[in-house]
Structure 1
Amino acid sequence: MQEQILAAQRRFAAERQEAEALFLKRKQPAVFFKRYARAAEQLLAALWEVYFSDRKLCLLATGGFGRGELYPYSDLDLALVSPATLDEDDQQQIAAFVQTLWDMKLIPSLKSGSVAELCGSVKDDISGDTAFLEARLLAGDAALAAALSAKISAQRDVATFTEAKILEMQQRQAKSQGSGTLLEPNIKSGSGGLRDLHTMLWIAKAQGLDTRFPSLIRHGILTSAEAGMLAESYKQLAAIRIHLHLCAKRAEDRLIFDLQGQVAESMGWQDDSRQRKSEKLMRLFYRTVKTIKQLHGILLPVLQERIDTNPYPITLRIDDDYIQVNHQIAARNPDIFLNNPEHIFKIVSIWQSRNDITSLEPKTLRAWWGASRKIKRSFYQNPANRRRFVEFFRNGNGLTHVLRFLNLYGVLGCYLPAWEKIVGLLQHDLFHIYPVDDHILTVVHNMRRLALDKHTHEHPFASSLMQGFEHKAVLYMAAFFHDIAKGRGGDHAVLGVDDARAFSDGHGLSSHEADLLAWLVEEHLLMSAVAQKEDIQNPEVIRAFCRKVKTYERLTALYLLTVADIRGTNPKLWNTWRASLLENLFHAAVYHLSSNGNTPNLLYNRRQQRAADFLTRSGAPEKQQKKLFQMLGSDYFASHQTREILWHSTNLVYDFETPRIRSRILPKSNSFQVMIFMPNGPRLFARLCRIFSRHGFDILAARAFVTAHNYILDTFIVQIPEQHDPEDYPNIQSALEAELNSFIHGYDLSEQQYHTGRISRRSRYMPIAPGVMIAQEEDFPGWYTIDIVAVNRPLLLADIAEVFFAHDVRIRYAKIATLDERIEDSFRVFSEQLADPKKQSALKQALLAQLAV
């Protein structure tokens, strides 16, 4: 027996060495996979004869080995199947078999058990189920292998599998900071890497499709051009990964700095006067992953459409050229982009302006992408295109998504030649972790978040400045242009001014906007340099800084750009120390500038100061005010409007331990504003919503807030039913206050009968498709933003809150917008369980079930 094993080992080692040598000579991944997999199969067949020839078992190749994609140091994915539970003798033989593989310096990853046991092990395990999706027989009982495959296929729910794989992919990308273009990217699991390519093929295979490219073309999943692009991308990534394994002499999937040069040289590149060999390698890698991400945007929706369980999609007219199908926008005639290139931007503009559209319909996206690749210089010269492009910034809504979409599909580079020069451009400064284009779009993203009320908690001070800043579009443009001149030689800040000026002249910016944009691009490094490298306690340093800044507006704009820039350079660089340096410099500069003229109060401080002034006039002691403001916390003033702050503080200043409710009839309306203040507890938000529904009120808006001492301070605006006369409002108000007072003191009637009602005829005949978007917050583990769009109905908000409670999701902030018969609600929640794809999917399905009622 030992002689057989040694002979098989020698034969395998020789064949493996030949496969590696042939690959290094020809650089053909397919040839390497074929030869190396065949060597492994022959080895396993020989070992099978030694250990299991007399047993009714079978051996399967699963995972990467199953699909014939075996890398030099990858795991050997195997499954050993028995008709019944393995006995002790079987277990001993399996242990000896596995140990032999380890002794040969292979890395076996073996599952073993009966058909029933293996089916049970993968029933709730998406990764295990995926591995068996690619299983093939290596040795043993073929009927047993077929039985296992049939049972696993029968228990697999294709729709659940598809959604779970897509969610798994999204979470995998989020772990790599949502980008496959980090300086040391993971070829296998990074965004646009091999695992993303495999995900598309797994979903197709789960649907019963032959995943060979010619078959996918016949089924309309791929076009011939797309199949060619996908095949070439796979070939490039596979080649890089094989070289990486061979250079590292281990199962390494990260293109770390130590290995980039070795891999590049192994692939045949050398340094030259313009680029290092590692830069050539990384440029190839970035171009390849970008292609995969482009194709994913088309192919995954195509595959999802095949399993859409909704036989009656909701179709709405947008205009003569476009319709909305559920949450996608579709062109009535896909040739419109070739025939009239103005629509390349027009469709994106419509998408940006509508919160209920999440993507382009796959066929439309295919046509749009094809036309965009044929953009000529005349496209830039067209005034309509210029107006729409600058409107992306002025609108602001979904700006980051729009720019990333246009960059992904190459439109930004076609429209602005200066942009094309920075796509995939590396920054070997041990400072930036993104290529230039990714860095810029991350800075735009950071700037946009500062402007959104729901993200105020992340950086309250900067958010308060941003939300009070008049020219927000200029800040977005400054973020977009600040590094656009990198890689040209010379000072990129100075060179970028010419690009900014040319853009301003061609896109109708006012002279003030153009000057501010150019100044920000030229001086975008100023504040960071002064704060981190100079003594900001020195009055001369502050005076010199202010001589360059000149105005409060410029100071504010520069501060915001600096915050967004540092946070977009490397998440590890942003910390409380840097934040305090910048904030201290800002305040010192404000003080200096104010000595030469009036400086506007900060929005953040202004709200608190107005509250303090109001309370002082009302006779409230200063000491009591300070205690109140400390209890409310700094986020409170950034996330509430001044009118609400004055109302709350007046009612709370003397006692912020006793629960209380207050309400007031809003002038010239049939609405109440209601404040509830009480200790935090389970299901409070849902139970309050049920009380309002029991009285027949429609919740127009709501803001949930938790104070620093863990009390809820929730504010609702509720609408009184139209059948009531204004003279009845005081009685209605009294009845509502009486029940709410009972509630906050422990007497809950919210579970008793409540007002019911039906959705309107308009909502029945002109429905909108419900939508749930769950996004993990960057740099805040366990925190998520959940956006919901649906038809309004009685008790909907309460039912949503109950779903959150049932899934152990805690609401920390809610912004409720009821727009006639449509709701657009946003919740900031905390839940550690949502990191699990299955539990996140279950929450989404439970919410959709409520929204569909």
Structure 2
Amino acid sequence: MPYRQTARNLFEQQQQQAIANFLAKPQPTVFFQAHCAAVETLLRTLWSPLFDGSGLCLMATGGFGRGELYPHSDLDLAIVSTSEIADGIQEKIALFIQTLWDMKFKPSVKSGSVAQLCDSAAEDITGDTAFLEARLLCGDEAPARQLIQETAARRDVTAFIEAKLLEMHQRHNKSQGSGAVLEPNIKSCPGGLRDIHTMLWLAKAQGLDTGLGALISQAILTRTEAGMLSQCYKQLAAIRIHLHICARRAEDRLIFDLQGKVAESMGNHDDDLRRKSEKLMRIFYRTVKTVTQLNGILLPMLQGRVSHQPQQARFPIDGDYVQIGNQIAAADTAVFQRDSRHIFKIIELLQERNDITALEPQTLRAWWAATRHIDRRFYNDEANRRRFVGFFRNSQGLTHVLRFLNLYGVLGSYLPAWEKIVGLLQHDLFHIYPVDDHILTVVHNMRRLSLDSHSHELPFASALMQSFPQQSVLYLAAFFHDIAKGRGGDHAIEGIADARQFAADHFLSVEEADLLAWLVEDHLLMSAVAQKEDIQDPDVLRAFCERVQTHERLAALYLLTVADIRGTNPKLWNNWRASLLESLFHAATRYLSGNGNNAKAVFSHRQQEAVELLTRAGAPEKQQKKLWNALGSAYFVRHQSREILWHTANLVHDFETPLIRSRILPKSDSFQVMIFMPNGPRLFARLCRIFSRHGFDILAARAFITEHNYILDTFILHIPAQHDPDDYPNIQSALEAELNSFIHGHTVLDQQSYHYRISRRSRFLPLAPSVTITQEEDYPGWYTVDVIAVNRAYLLADLAEVFFAHEVSLRYAKIATLDERVEDSFIVYSQCLDNPKHQQALKQALLAQLTV
């Protein structure tokens, strides 16, 4: 009918004008008013011809009911009658709903009598919540008024509040307990819009006016809290409006595809220090953190107004504090304003007492208000500094204390360097937490190693931690290791001054201060050496130990490295990476003890281990000597003892026949594979293609050419996550079958184009590829090629093809796969690379393969 099209055209004009006005001046409440008015005009136009005089009414519910309608939100509606709706009217309702669908709306409509809708609400907390915000749009006022009165009368307020809080906790758990994920749902994540709604629903269910002015006058909110809540709501609502506009659909997740577009729409741009998407996400993280702060005060307070729990006993703690249940309360909440030392004193009590888990809401409100006045004078007070460092020396409940202080902004107020990293995300394809969350996770990991109850998780690291004499320094090192990020420059170097100043101000001994500063400066050392360098090379080990110097530093660095990697990204920690770090630790321990300090000693020790194993297995001495000659002395320097024992046990009786072997690494999702066969063109690349075709990630690769020109290549392969461990033997058999066919010349692999998919994260948060070619000192023709790039299938194979095409012999590969990022190092031989033109041509060809 013409009036429908006219109404639709008018609505589209009004909606586009509302969007244009918002983009010109982003005021969410103004947009909602204009957008809701446009929708309401359309609905009334469609309603009148069908339902005038019918006795029915049309009500807005849910988000539409509270006047919060985003560009592509669902339309929450209710069609209400005082009595059961007749069949003829039901047909008109169906026509009305279909018309809305035809007009590209997404209506969510409940219809029925007041009694039916009340019964429905009683059975469904979501429906009951929607009716809590219902308002009349058009039609007969009587059923609307009756529905609002009946649902309110039948609502069990206490049960409603408990259900909404349970719903919130379940929602948070689904979001992994933190809003700080890479692609957060702006509506449902912890601290998101739904948490603000929950606060207001709990107030509204109690019959309270939820206007900010009314909440202030009713002493539900302070004026400061109301201002913070209003600002957070406007910020989150603005981001969500921009998100809908940029996505051109109902999208509540800040996905990688849209983060850059939303950031630009909001006026953010890339600069030398931060991407625009990182700027947007920092705004988001800080906002949801503030909402979470308010939640901690308001939700318990609102719940307490209607709670049926019996009066809890009060036990005095000292002259200033009492215990109420499992909470600590100030006898007089003005204590924090009178004496700011109580800001840390109450936290000290919280840490010392296992039976106290939280601050009583009114005490928390007063304490938080006082913390906002922390300044240099507070810091200069010796008592405050002693208490702050005491949190680390006590260590009991340390993670809980630090997370609490960070949540309420105290860490940033007390340490200005900390404020600069709050909510700071790094789009580097392996960090998944903002810097402050990452640091506190590292502290948590370190603390966990100290607890005997968790020793079964990482037995070696736990034993080392539990015997370490200066655990508080390790907690401080975890706290300070990344504190200088976001300031420009090398954060490890910049952080030294922060650590030393803290040590001087907080009464650390000279030995403690030196260890702390060294750990901050070199916290990346062990990870870099273990994952990127050949730790079997005595020169590498010597250089590492010269930096470490002592067994104490070695143990401290090992523990910090384990905690750091585990706190960066759960995907990065696996048994293979753990074994690399442990191997480097043991090798360095031997070196620092005076054993195995040169290549000759390493060669002798590893060969002797192999001799003893093979002799016990009955291998003749003459056959062993032939094998040693075939492998060459470099073999024993380049390989770990456990690899040598595995290789030689399989090769000693026949080192002329091609062979493959594989084994599932214990307690891991990885295979180790060895391939032994006559050398030939492109073998490394072709093997990598086989692994990529099977869906394996290559975690590590060691290419080696024997003295009799055979390849002895060893790979660590990560099994795709979708496979169950029960499937591993079948996967292993299938891989061995194809590799056996390959080494005997029965499998032909051409250089056809292979299709692979890049993750959305890699596409929209790209990593600039890097290639560095360095000549080895004192070894003409030998070069190290270091590569940093986005990980993808067939990457290693394609790089090997480039080496072959440029007549570069690949002799050694050190592969570090860090989630979606790779940092690979190759040792190659070529007589051509001393020519700058050839070297540049190789670099450009490698970069061409690395560009996503």
Calculate the TM-score normalised by the size of structure 1.
Answer: 0.66
Aligned equivalent of 2:831: none
Aligned equivalent of 1:507: 506
Aligned equivalent of 2:23: 24
Residues 56 and 538 of structure 1: CA distance in aligned 2, closer, same or farther (over 3 Å): farther
Q: Would you say 1:76 and 2:75 are equivalent positions?
A: yes
Residues 408 and 539 of structure 1: CA distance in aligned 2, closer, same or farther (over 3 Å): same
For the 8 Å contact 1:393–1:399, the answer to whether it is kept is: yes
Deviation at 1:591, TM superposition (A): 4.9
Deviation at 1:306, TM superposition (A): 0.8
Q: Where do residues 578-589 of structure 1 align in structure 2 (5 Å cutoff)?
A: 578-589=577-588
Aligned equivalent of 2:107: 108
Residues 329 and 81 of structure 1: CA distance in aligned 2, closer, same or farther (over 3 Å): same
Residues 288 and 325 of structure 1: CA distance in aligned 2, closer, same or farther (over 3 Å): same
Distance 1:74 1:475 in 2: 49
For the 8 Å contact 2:57–2:79, the answer to whether it is kept is: yes
Residues 586 and 165 of structure 1: CA distance in aligned 2, closer, same or farther (over 3 Å): farther
Aligned equivalent of 1:267: 266
Q: Deviations over 1:52-107 (max 9, x none)?
A: 44644333211111100000011111223345666655554443332222221111
Aligned equivalent of 1:225: 224
Residues 369 and 476 of structure 1: CA distance in aligned 2, closer, same or farther (over 3 Å): same
Q: Where do residues 622-701 of structure 1 align in structure 2 (5 Å cutoff)?
A: none
Q: Deviations over 1:447-484 (max 9, x none)?
A: 22333344445444433433343322222111100001
Partner of 1:129, secondary structure, is helix
Aligned equivalent of 1:372: 371
Aligned equivalent of 2:714: none
Deviation at 1:518, TM superposition (A): 2.0
For the 8 Å contact 2:273–2:488, the answer to whether it is kept is: no
Deviation at 1:254, TM superposition (A): 2.5
For the 8 Å contact 2:278–2:427, the answer to whether it is kept is: no
Q: Deviations over 1:130-178 (max 9, x none)?
A: 2222122223343333333334333433223223322332332333333
Task: Extract unaligned runs of 5+ from structure 1.
Answer: 598-632, 635-853
Aligned equivalent of 1:45: 44
Distance 2:593 2:173 in 1: 44
Residues 462 and 46 of structure 1: CA distance in aligned 2, closer, same or farther (over 3 Å): farther
Residues 446 and 250 of structure 1: CA distance in aligned 2, closer, same or farther (over 3 Å): same
Deviation at 1:317, TM superposition (A): 0.4
Partner of 1:27, secondary structure, is coil
For the 8 Å contact 1:478–1:520, the answer to whether it is kept is: yes
Q: Deviations over 1:522-569 (max 9, x none)?
A: 221122212221233445444443443344433332222222212221
Distance 1:164 1:563 in 2: 41
Aligned equivalent of 1:778: none
Distance 1:114 1:208 in 2: 24
Q: Would you say 1:331 and 2:321 are equivalent positions?
A: no
Aligned equivalent of 1:305: 304
Q: Would you say 1:351 and 2:388 are equivalent positions?
A: no
Distance 2:513 2:268 in 1: 44
For the 8 Å contact 1:386–1:506, the answer to whether it is kept is: yes
| Aligned residues between the structures | 598
Distance 1:149 1:455 in 2: 53
Q: Deviations over 1:629-686 (max 9, x none)?
A: xxxx99xxxxxxxxxxxxxxxxxxxxxxxxxxxxxxxxxxxxxxxxxxxxxxxxxxxx
Aligned equivalent of 1:649: none
Distance 1:274 1:562 in 2: 26
Aligned equivalent of 1:415: 414
For the 8 Å contact 1:180–1:192, the answer to whether it is kept is: yes
Aligned equivalent of 1:533: 532
Q: Would you say 1:322 and 2:321 are equivalent positions?
A: yes
Partner of 2:472, secondary structure, is helix
Aligned equivalent of 1:143: 142
Aligned equivalent of 2:118: 119
Distance 1:121 1:587 in 2: 66
Residues 36 and 583 of structure 1: CA distance in aligned 2, closer, same or farther (over 3 Å): same
Q: 1:202 is matched by which residue type in structure 2? A: W
Distance 2:4 2:441 in 1: 55
Distance 1:469 1:89 in 2: 81
Aligned equivalent of 1:180: 179
Residues 318 and 586 of structure 1: CA distance in aligned 2, closer, same or farther (over 3 Å): same
CA RMSD between the two structures? 2.6
Q: Which moved further from structure 2: 432-441 or 144-153?
A: 144-153
Partner of 1:319, secondary structure, is coil
Residues 498 and 152 of structure 1: CA distance in aligned 2, closer, same or farther (over 3 Å): same
Amino-acid identity (%):
68
Deviation at 1:45, TM superposition (A): 1.9
Residues 215 and 592 of structure 1: CA distance in aligned 2, closer, same or farther (over 3 Å): same
Q: Would you say 1:573 and 2:572 are equivalent positions?
A: yes
Distance 1:116 1:458 in 2: 57
Q: 2:41 is matched by which residue type in structure 1? A: Q
For the 8 Å contact 2:283–2:423, the answer to whether it is kept is: no
Aligned equivalent of 2:403: 404
For the 8 Å contact 2:239–2:262, the answer to whether it is kept is: yes
Q: 1:471 is matched by which residue type in structure 2? A: Q
Q: Where do residues 722-741 of structure 1 align in structure 2 (5 Å cutoff)?
A: none
Q: Deviations over 1:479-521 (max 9, x none)?
A: 1000011122222112212221222222222333223222221
Aligned equivalent of 1:129: 128
Q: 1:16 is matched by which residue type in structure 2? A: Q
Aligned equivalent of 2:152: 153
Q: 1:244 is matched by which residue type in structure 2? A: L
Residues 75 and 499 of structure 1: CA distance in aligned 2, closer, same or farther (over 3 Å): same
Partner of 2:188, secondary structure, is coil
Distance 2:53 2:587 in 1: 84
Distance 1:315 1:509 in 2: 38
Distance 1:472 1:207 in 2: 50
Partner of 1:364, secondary structure, is helix
Distance 1:466 1:582 in 2: 15
Q: 2:426 is matched by which residue type in structure 1? A: Q
Q: 1:515 is matched by which residue type in structure 2? A: D
Distance 2:376 2:162 in 1: 41
For the 8 Å contact 1:323–1:331, the answer to whether it is kept is: yes
Q: Which moved further from structure 2: 408-417 or 139-148?
A: 139-148
Q: 1:511 is matched by which residue type in structure 2? A: V
Distance 2:395 2:370 in 1: 25
Partner of 2:322, secondary structure, is strand
Distance 1:269 1:545 in 2: 43
For the 8 Å contact 2:278–2:426, the answer to whether it is kept is: no
Q: Which moved further from structure 2: 232-241 or 506-515?
A: 506-515
Distance 1:391 1:496 in 2: 21
Q: 1:205 is matched by which residue type in structure 2? A: K
Residues 532 and 275 of structure 1: CA distance in aligned 2, closer, same or farther (over 3 Å): closer
- Rg larger for: 2
Aligned equivalent of 1:208: 207
Q: Deviations over 1:186-242 (max 9, x none)?
A: 322222221111111111111111101111111110112221221122122212211
Aligned equivalent of 1:810: none
Q: Where do residues 265-304 of structure 1 align in structure 2 (5 Å cutoff)?
A: 265-271=264-270, 276-304=275-303
Distance 1:576 1:93 in 2: 65
Residues 536 and 111 of structure 1: CA distance in aligned 2, closer, same or farther (over 3 Å): farther
For the 8 Å contact 2:286–2:422, the answer to whether it is kept is: no
Residues 545 and 312 of structure 1: CA distance in aligned 2, closer, same or farther (over 3 Å): same
Q: Would you say 1:163 and 2:151 are equivalent positions?
A: no
Deviation at 1:333, TM superposition (A): 2.3
Q: Which moved further from structure 2: 267-276 or 524-533?
A: 267-276
Q: 2:496 is matched by which residue type in structure 1? A: V
Q: Would you say 1:450 and 2:449 are equivalent positions?
A: yes
Q: Deviations over 1:277-323 (max 9, x none)?
A: 44443443333323222222222222122123235231110101111
For the 8 Å contact 1:183–1:435, the answer to whether it is kept is: no
Distance 2:267 2:305 in 1: 43
